[in-house]
Chain A
């Protein structure tokens, strides 16, 4: 049963989805270099959403992943281009779990207020979920570190002011906060299917001063991996919003579209198809509810990763399938740019691929669970 504050949060999200954003805005922002609307982000910050994962001591709400999921679901449902999951969960959790208090005091309150945008830059290769294969180097000098390397597939890079960069030093992993304006930093944006971009961050002797180092060694690794698991789960919630709306649209269409003198929703072949999509949505919903509750109990890292993979595997699979079949159920109109079904498919494509698709997460789940079961 939803707690009272979760219920209030849900109402506030529903209200925002109904009045604070619309599909015309989503369409207008497609392919724009700004990618999203800073004023809308500001509004989300005022509602306490941007800082939902920022601990209260740094001016945030310090709420649970289950709460963040409520917002992500609304973001998905409305196809909002604002990088909620990428910034408010992925980048924020990585920084919030780091040990540099002074740096956190400096960055997190500004982030929660919506004044400063964060993006996490960790990935370098396509199709990889592990953080062990990082080639970007962090070479220490008296004032801090010099960073060299290329980070890819960044979500929310378009408006990012500060990048939280994962790099390797001789002493292990380093999480360094690098300003966009730092010398030696370049950001390229590549358009992706849903009208937003994947960023590529190039670091050429970019300097991160000592006080800009968020975490090093084992604690950096732990912060990064927790943030990735949490963001995978919240991306699952965003996918849940996408699939729920896509399914609603399809079922509505089946009730109103008349062919052969009857609504197409009266044909059993289509009815059963719709039920199979509904089943996938129900499974995704159940996994999210169970999984988020477990994640909020702070399980051990391996268990946490297994849960995150369960969520991301099912939501990616279900989200893509529902969005693909929405096109089929709508027929030719579903394949037009003018109709919204395609927007849902494109967002599902991007969210399913980002942070690992269903096949990748199944593989990781297998590795995590078979190993631990064999050893018990």
Chain B
């Protein structure tokens, strides 16, 4: 039953809360979707969304008055850790993680009423319209424009790498609304229903063979002026507000730890734990992850104390994603010929998919700010090197 009205999660001890989350996940989460080595499709994950929604647990980060769990930062970390621990796939939850908090901070009452309930129930699924063909790492260079015209914005341009646009109902969009201003200053934040005339969505097949991201074309798309969130030309500030916590979440050691366990299992059945050369490389990677876990817990403690995350949290994303890739590289090397067979295979009694984890780790150093961009950030803001 819905626990929203009564439960005070923050009043529980960490351990009691952890057990309660763990018990619920283990009882309810579909087995076949554990540790999926790709992004999950909305159609597959919808029953789980429903389960969480009915429990009142779909939005751990939202305040109670909006139907969330109202978790403090410490409990939030535990909640996410338990999802990761059990290998729960991350649904297209940007409505929950991004749009909701943005509307609560910058939205009008009418916008909150129009979007928040549907975002919570899954009736509205959001996709993120940020990147463009000429605005990837240089996001502020985006050119998709919105022009004010008799009570409407007219949007023209193209977005790309929009994850699951073809399974979404709405898009939140960064658009250029002032061509004269400095790059970051002329950007606004819009919410658009994907059924609006003039929008074309074209899925792009990735190297793993999955259709996860899309191109989205806007051809004279007319949307009402109340699609604007916050003030005109305030979009950059709004979009950047949530990046820190995202980098902490993405830097969790759980996904690479899963790859490590697969590798260890494979190494044992192949007798490689007696091979000194292999063991040194394996142990180096294992320690890379152990040390990542120490670094991660340091940032978690910082969040729990209520301190904001600084630019140095980029370290976590760089190390987590690059270590993950190194692990899947070694997994493929260890699999030898078997590693290039598509799909899962029985290796001496252990079912292993080599290419899945390998492909899955590939874009992690590109999305959410590439490793190179993260290094630029540390260089500029932490080491304070000149530009």
Contact = CB atoms under 8 A, between A and B. Distances in A.
B290 A271 contact: no
A16 interface: no
B387 A266 contact: yes
A314 B385 contact: no
Contacts of B93: none
Nearest to B378: A275
B51 to A, nearest CB: 33
Contacts of B279: 363, 366
A146 to B, nearest CB: 40
Interface stretch (A188-196, A220-228, A278-286, A339-347): A278-286
A263 B386 contact: yes
Contact count band on A: 20 to 34
B283 interface: yes
B280 interface: yes
Contacts of A295: none
Interface string B213-247: 00000000000000000000000000000000000
Nearest to A365: B283
A251 B295 CA distance: 22
Contacts of B276: 363
B310 to A, nearest CB: 12
Q: Is the interface of A mostly helix, strand, loop or mixed?
A: helix
**Interface of B, helix, strand, loop or mixed by DSSP:** helix
B295 A282 contact: yes
Contacts of B378: 275, 278
Given A255-B386, A283-B295, A271 B287 contact: no
B334 interface: no
Interface string A255-291: 1000000110110100110111011001100110111
A313 interface: yes
B312 A310 contact: no
B283 A362 contact: yes
Nearest to A291: B294
A265 B273 CA distance: 43
A359 interface: yes
Contact of A275 (B282, B297, B375, B386): B375
Contacts of A279: 315, 318-319
A289 B291 CA distance: 11
Nearest to B288: A283
Contact of B287 (A1, A276, A314): A314
A362 B284 CA distance: 7
B383 interface: yes
A141 interface: no
Given A275-B375, A362-B284, A370-B273, A265 B386 contact: yes
A271 B385 contact: yes
Given A282-B315, A363-B280, A314 B382 contact: no
Contacts of B319: 279, 283
Contacts of A291: 294
A362 B297 contact: no
A254 interface: yes
B372 interface: yes
Given A271-B376, A272-B375, A310-B291, A278 B383 contact: yes
A30 B369 CA distance: 48
B379 interface: yes
Given A266-B387, A278-B382, A363-B280, A286 B375 contact: no
A298 to B, nearest CB: 19
Interface string A360-373: 00110110011000
A326 to B, nearest CB: 14
Contacts of A310: 287, 290-291
B269 to A, nearest CB: 13
Interface in A231-265: 251, 254-255, 262-263, 265
Contact of A272 (B273, B379, B382): B379
Given A266-B385, A271-B375, A290 B283 contact: no
Interface string B349-382: 0000000000000000000000010011011001
B202 interface: no
A26 B282 CA distance: 40
A363 B283 contact: yes
Contacts of A369: 286
A322 to B, nearest CB: 13
B298 interface: yes
Contacts of A363: 276, 279-280, 283
A254 B291 contact: no
A330 to B, nearest CB: 15
A251 B387 CA distance: 13
A263 B387 CA distance: 9
A290 B294 CA distance: 6
Contact of B294 (A255, A276, A286): A286
B280 A290 contact: no
A363 B385 CA distance: 37
Contact of B385 (A274, A287, A362): A274
Contacts of B375: 271-272, 275-276
A274 B386 contact: no
A266 B386 contact: yes
B385 A265 contact: yes
Interface string A301-337: 0000000001001100000000000000000000000
A255 B379 CA distance: 11
B252 to A, nearest CB: 14
B166 to A, nearest CB: 36
Nearest to B295: A286
Given A279-B318, A286-B295, A251 B283 contact: no
Q: Which 7 A-B pairs have the closest CB atoms?
A: A271-B379, A286-B294, A286-B295, A290-B294, A265-B385, A366-B283, A275-B375
8 contacts: A271-B376, A272-B372, A283-B295, A287-B291, A291-B294, A362-B280, A362-B287, A366-B279
